[in-house]
Amino acid sequence: MTVLVYPVLLAPTGDAEEWAARHGRHSRRIAPLVGLVYGALVVGCAWALLDGRRDPGTWSSVVAAAGAVSCTAAVAAPLHGRLGRGRDGVLERRLLRVDTLRLALALGAAALAAVSVLAS
């Protein structure tokens, strides 16, 4: 999202009609991908916990992953809903800020999971 999607979506080009079309395409295309990635994330986290892993790295990774999903559900998705009704620079900046937090949480979750796996 951070590197490939948002730079194209939020490019400062076009009028209101072009924005509506671009945002609509984005929403239709990204929803299945988000569902697939977050579904795999939930399965992976559940598997790690149900497998009996009780080390701090695993738990911290799961918490960071849950934070990334929560950022999406609680902030990014509603912002996209509002942006679908019309372009707004303030909302776009909020979306980029929450995306930065989401990226940090996702990278943290991956790093913690890797450390946990390598330590076992």
Instruction: Give the per-residue pLDDT at 24.
Output: 92
- Sorted by where each begins, the domain ranges of the chain are 16-119
pTM given for the model:
0.87
For the chain, list residues with pLDDT below 70: none
pLDDT digits (tens, 9 = 90+) for 33-53: 999 999 999 999 999 889 887
CA distances 111 to 3, 6, 23, 47, 116, Å, are: 19, 24, 32, 17, 9
Instruction: Give the per-residue pLDDT at 84.
Output: 92
Whether residue 92 contacts residue 8, with contact meaning beta carbons closer than 8 Å, is answered with: no
Instruction: Give the per-residue pLDDT at 102.
Output: 95
Instruction: Give the per-residue pLDDT at 3.
Output: 82
